[in-house]
Amino acid sequence: MKQAIITGVAVWCLLTVSGCHYYEEYRVLKSTADIQDERAEFLKAYRLCLAKYQDEPPKAKEMCAPYTQSLREIEVKQQHGR
């Protein structure tokens, strides 16, 4: 009986440890996907901003600069994640 309990606990420990590995992998994949989604949203907003001010390039540069900065920050985040 004790042998069965010890074996059960050992199997449970092994499954728990391997589950942790998969959870870590999931977190990395989820973070990468979140960053890509954020980047896609900023690119869409940046394109809309450029389209809005297409006839006024100096104003476009001024008004769309925050999107450019945010996209650069996202690139830095993505590079640090690698």
Cβ density class 26-49: b for 16+ within 10 Å, e for less? eeeeeeeeeeeebbeebeeebeeb
pTM: 0.64
Q: From CA 79, how far away is CA 66, in angstroms rounded?
A: 20
Q: What percent of the chain has pLDDT over 90?
A: 41
| pLDDT digits 0-9 by tens, 48-81 | 999 999 999 999 999 999 999 988 988 887 777 6
- In this prediction, residue 13 carries a pLDDT of 59
State the Cα angle at 8 between 4 and 11, rounded to 5°. Answer: 140
Count structural domains, the chain.
Answer: 1
**Domain extent for 29:** 2-81
What's the confidence (pLDDT) of residue 15? Answer: 57
Q: What percent of the chain has pLDDT over 70?
A: 73
Residue 14 has pLDDT above 60, yes or no: no
